[in-house]
Structure 1
Amino acid sequence: MNTVIETILNHRSVRKFEDKSLTQEQIEAIVASAQAASTSSFIQAYSIIGVTDKEKKQRLAELAGNQSYVAENGHFFVFCADLHRFDIIGEMEQKNVSTSLESTEKFMVALIDTALAAQNAALAAESMSLGVCYIGGIRNHLADVCKLLKTPEKVIPLFGLAVGYPDQTADKKPRLSFQHIYHENKYEQDIEQYKGQLENYNQIVSAYYNERTNGKRADTWTSQMASMLEKSSRLYMKEFIQQHKLNVK
């Protein structure tokens, strides 16, 4: 096994960081690694906002659900789906690009491009012995986040990435089994086998929590997921995105 795979497999979210900022060299290396990710048709439909202002980081922490590690880290990156620059390109080249930019397809391209770039950034940070934590909570109040970061139309902040020197290392959470995730030639639809794999995973997850909390918690993965999905969240998202002239057609 090589060091890249070891770094990938050793991933865990870090939620407590030392009070130490990243260097400019580290920031540039992380962003350069993000930019090296694959991108659909060379479109590069994302932007990254680094937040260093303490008041802005604190406000983002509040908007994300009072998550302290959004404010207290070595550097906070916000990854944005960005089709705004293509409005500018359309003007520069005197081409009508509006229909394409408002399509579901281009919105999906922007989401995928952004996610690929972010994962490259996370891996680069972890390869430097830094810790990372993705922050989807910034989507709780996107209008406020957009106002705070002064993002233009067709730019949507998707998630944050807190990066820093770990002050606390969490245990690695067990993932679903290879057999449950990987399908060969077709999607396996044996429901009893499918449920059996989930039951086995429930036992693994329950044991993980039991050991991690000294018996105070032993819930299963399927119970977690069902409880989470039973409650609807961020239902304003479709309307908000379309107000920004994305995913309209």
Structure 2
Amino acid sequence: MTTQSPFMTNPVVATIMNHRSIRKFTNDTLAPSQIETIVRAAQMASSSSFMQAYSIIGLTDPALKYELREITKTPYMGENGHLFIFCADLQRLTVMGTEQEKLDMKMMMESTAFYQIAVIDAALAAQNAVLAAESLGLGAVIMGAINKDINRLDRMLGLPQYVIPLFGIAVGVPDQQPDVKPRLPLEAVYFENRYASETEQRERVQAYDRDMNRYYLARGANNRDTGWSRKHIDLLKMKLPLTGITDYIRSKGFNVT
């Protein structure tokens, strides 16, 4: 007896498998009930020690959205149904402590380990938010470009110590339907008992490069003649100035290196 694929029978899995980033939206704004559903779904994500070490800021002020669009040079930052900014947030953990308790907490609070916890918590919540949005028939795109001028963004949002903006999620009614990008072969991502050898990985990535080259050449916009590995090798060779991010994170109280 043939078992039907869970991709076809399970609506949650089907929504996940149909994911694509949407960068063009209609002029429809999200209803308050849609925003609440997305945020509540985000809150149901797993959280380390149940710290829930993130916050979500919804940008509704057109002036703020325009300023962020200018920072990022991305139109969909201002033209969407709703814009969510996800932040790592350990400040909330301090508000009920006494001054002495805040001093006692300081070493742990400012450690790289706890910053990592907050980043992971925010990322898990964000994936829930995107899945919830897509299940409502909406589209979404996660954007790291909000941090192109992170100090300016910090001032715009009035962020206190121990709160770091990580990425934005633009959500709205899709005004485009891009193809789903091919993912790495499962064998290049999932291993049993040991990590794959470099030879095995090279063979799998080479095959994937051919798939991605066909995808890039055939897609309707932003065509390019490259593969997955070459695109990212070229990116990592650019030596972008990343020290500003580290300095900013340290200025917010974290001892990251």
Where on the TM-score scale, by shorter chain, does this alignment land: which range?
Answer: over 0.9
1:143 aligns with one of 132, 148, 151: 151
Deviations 1:123-152 (A, max 9, x none): 000000100001100111110001011111
Distance between the aligned counterparts of 2:233 and 2:128, measured in 1? Answer: 30
SS, match of residue 37 in structure 1: coil
Structure 2 residue 238 is matched with structure 1 residue 231: yes
Matched pairs, number: 247
Structure 1 pair 74–92 and aligned structure 2 pair: CA distance change class (3 A): farther
Q: Which amino acid aligns with 2:216?
A: Y
Aligned to 1:161: 169
Written as runs of structure 1 = structure 2, the 5 A alignment for 1:92-171 is 94=101, 96-171=104-179
SS, match of residue 80 in structure 1: strand
Distance between the aligned counterparts of 1:216 and 1:107, measured in 2? Answer: 38
Aligned to 2:201: 194
Does the 8 Å contact 2:58/2:82 carry over to 1? yes
Q: Give 5+ residue unaligned stretches, structure 2.
A: 1-5
Aligned to 1:82: 89
Distance between the aligned counterparts of 1:121 and 1:29, measured in 2? Answer: 9
Q: 1:213: how far off? A: 4.6
Distance between the aligned counterparts of 1:204 and 1:248, measured in 2? Answer: 38
Aligned Cα RMSD in Å?
A: 1.7
Distance between the aligned counterparts of 1:226 and 1:34, measured in 2? Answer: 33
Q: Give 5+ residue unaligned stretches, structure 1.
A: none
TM-score (normalizing by structure 2):
0.92
Written as runs of structure 1 = structure 2, the 5 A alignment for 1:211-230 is 211-213=218-220, 217-230=224-237
Does the 8 Å contact 2:54/2:86 carry over to 1? yes
State the 4+ residue runs in structure 1 displaced beyond 6 angstroms: none
Structure 2 residue 191 is matched with structure 1 residue 183: yes
Structure 2 residue 29 is matched with structure 1 residue 9: no
SS, match of residue 13 in structure 1: coil
Aligned to 1:25: 33
Distance between the aligned counterparts of 1:162 and 1:199, measured in 2? Answer: 33
Does the 8 Å contact 1:37/1:116 carry over to 2? yes
Structure 1 pair 56–215 and aligned structure 2 pair: CA distance change class (3 A): closer
SS, match of residue 96 in structure 2: helix
Q: 1:82: how far off? A: 0.3
